[in-house]
Copies of this chain bind each other. A is one copy, B any other.
Amino acid sequence: MSEQIDLAAYLFTRLRQLGVESIHGVPGDYNLQALDYIEPAGINWIGNANELNAGYAADGYGRIKGISALITAFGVGELSAINAIGGAYAEMSPVVHIVGAPPLPAQNARACLHHSLGDGNFRIFAEMYAKLTVAQANLTDTATAPSMIDNTLRQCVLQSRPVYIELPTNMVSQKVSTRSLKFPIDLTIPHNDEGFEDAEVELILARIYASKQPFIIVDGFTAALGITAEADELVRVTGFPTSTTSFGKGIVNETYPNFHGIYAGEAGKQVYRPWAESCDLILRIGPLSSKGGKGGFTTIPNPKYTIDFHRNSVEIGGTNSFTNVHVKPLLRKILNRIDKSKLPRYDPYPDLGNPRQQLEALAPAQSDSAIDQETFWQRISTCFREGDIILTETGTPSIGGRDFVLPPQTTLINSGIWLSIGYMLGASQGAACAQRDIIHSLNPTNPPSLSNPLTTPTPPSPRSSQRTFSGRTILFIGDGSLQMTAQSLSDTIRNKLPLTIFLINNDGYTIERFIHGMRAPYNDIQPWNYLLAPQYFGADLESVEYPVVTRCAKNWGELFEVVEQKEVRESKGLTIVEVRMGREDAPDALVKLVAGAARRNSGATGPAGSEEKAIKAAG
């Protein structure tokens, strides 16, 4: 084996080792040379119609696979994608953003290059990205490039956040040593100090054993922390009443009898807030906000009784904070040591509602009645199957989706704080791609897609290894959101990715109507003929391999008929179901949430953070 390899080959080999089987991006000057190295590294190229959509797709891919990569050109390309990287940073999605940069001689000469500002400053965009990424590497030196790449990728996976790599065109084919490639990048979490960890575990167990009214809230960073299995086990073993936030929904097996849906404080639908507020122990797993800050969140019943499990710290009672403790081994030790006989038992078990029973108790919908936001999200849940990836876009879907009743092993992607509309269509393309890659690699009859002899088998990321992804990718998205990133449909078609879309057509930005300007023209949008998308974007309407199915449902009867159709259930290709709903119809939780937002926007200084957190939880 040669001891030397082209720098770009080194980079893509490393990515392939870590589990990147498809790379998203847009070709452009300064990155074309690098693109030549993708397929030889055993990676698929997913060309996107624009960079923002590529970034969103990479984010979605990363949330499923535990790592993803995005390639753009310098300047124009990277700035078009920066909002996606901001979202990946805020919500902990592991994206490696590779920027094809101008050749170093031209950079050093401060030349007036295209895609730059013309002022000879080639650092300006990297400086912006430093604010939104946890590690950066500028590959200007073959001697240091391999270790810089390794360190950067390590941070991406371990912190589950985006990183930034600049690859100048003239460096692409420079030779670097293959030596380190023989060893996988070290992704082990450092051991906790044994004595410290033991003390910590005993303290937490003592709090658990001593509690009379314990409660578990699973938040959305749980998946990014790689502790989905531990969180699920904690819920199962303790039997404590459990909720998730809407950001964390889908992480816990919702068939457990002690699962009670979403807890969202004052905006919650299930009215168990009084009960929650009298709890004497709340275990929050992977919470989005690191500190309560000034004032409390209504989604945290009482910070005094709360134990927050973060990646590298545990906060107890809003006062004690143990840092430099890694949550995964800590939780594992708690689970290993837990003495079930010492756990508090509810007698009687409180009546906190059971989403599954609530769904079954729903009165049948009238066939010719309009489809309403109040029950749509529950009723549609009967279509879900194990292994499905479900995405709910910010707006009525993200809030309505709280009411989903999910089978085990379904994954929900829902924005927790960034709430950038348009994101979810791109993310669904990326998630569908990740799902295809996983299914492909699991099938033993498929030859390995890997032709690169340097690539060693990868230990799967903790993020993806704790879940099965054998089902479908299903997106719920509003019309205003879809318009933002509609080209992602083209990307989906081009790459023949199976995707089912429920397009909630309610004629404009309904969530914003409720925040401000219910009938203001600025909340209107251009009414598209959404079901023409496959034709416009050039899908082969006769394809058997990748069938295109479009349907429209204007009432319950039509909707039930559509979702029962074999081609819709199978969802082998692109399926778009347009669901018409009223423009001033919204889930009850949304109405409550936005009342808080309106108060806040006017500058009300009530309990700071309460509405903010509520809106956040609504994402």
User: Which A residues lie at the B interface, using CB under 8 A?
Assistant: 27-30, 32-33, 35-36, 38, 45, 47, 49-50, 52, 75-76, 79-80, 82-83, 86-87, 89-90, 102-106, 109-120, 124, 127-128, 131-132, 169-171, 288-290, 293-295, 417-422, 483-487, 490-491, 493-494, 509, 512, 515-517, 520-529, 532-533, 535-538, 597, 600-605, 608-609, 612-613, 615-616, 619
Q: Once the chains bind, are A535 and B529 in contact (CB under 8 Å)?
A: yes
Q: How far is the CA of A615 from the CA of B528 in the complex (A)?
A: 38
Which residues in B have their C-beta under 8 angstroms from that of A527? Answer: 538
Q: Once the chains bind, are A532 and B522 in contact (CB under 8 Å)?
A: no
Q: Once the chains bind, are B76 and A420 in contact (CB under 8 Å)?
A: yes
A24 vs chain B, min Cβ distance (A): 12
Which residues in B have their C-beta under 8 angstroms from that of A603? Answer: 103-105, 169-171
Q: Which single member of B128, B418, B517 contacts A75 (CB below 8 Å)?
A: B418
30 A-B residue pairs with CB within 8 Å? A27-B523, A28-B421, A32-B516, A32-B517, A32-B522, A32-B523, A36-B516, A45-B522, A47-B521, A49-B484, A49-B486, A52-B80, A76-B419, A79-B83, A82-B82, A90-B118, A103-B600, A103-B602, A103-B603, A105-B605, A112-B288, A112-B417, A115-B417, A115-B419, A118-B288, A118-B290, A127-B131, A170-B602, A171-B603, A528-B537
Q: Once the chains bind, are A490 and B600 in contact (CB under 8 Å)?
A: no
Q: How far is the CA of A27 from the CA of B113 in the complex (A)?
A: 35
Which residues in B have their C-beta under 8 angstroms from that of A605? Answer: 105
Interface of A is mostly: loop
Q: CB-nearest residue of chain B relative to A295?
A: B109
A383 vs chain B, min Cβ distance (A): 27
A357 vs chain B, min Cβ distance (A): 32
Q: CB-nearest residue of chain B relative to A29?
A: B515
Q: Once the chains bind, are B525 and A536 in contact (CB under 8 Å)?
A: no
Q: Once the chains bind, are A47 and B524 in contact (CB under 8 Å)?
A: yes
A323 vs chain B, min Cβ distance (A): 17
Known A29-B601, A109-B609; contact A114-B619, beta-carbon cutoff 8 A: yes
Q: How far is the CA of A109 from the CA of B609 in the complex (A)?
A: 8
Counting from the closest, the 8 A-B pairs by CB-CB distance are A170-B603, A79-B83, A76-B420, A32-B516, A109-B608, A169-B601, A494-B526, A112-B289
Q: How far is the CA of A601 from the CA of B113 in the complex (A)?
A: 11
Which residues in B have their C-beta under 8 angstroms from that of A111? Answer: 293, 608-609, 612-613
Which residues in B have their C-beta under 8 angstroms from that of A600? Answer: 103, 105-106
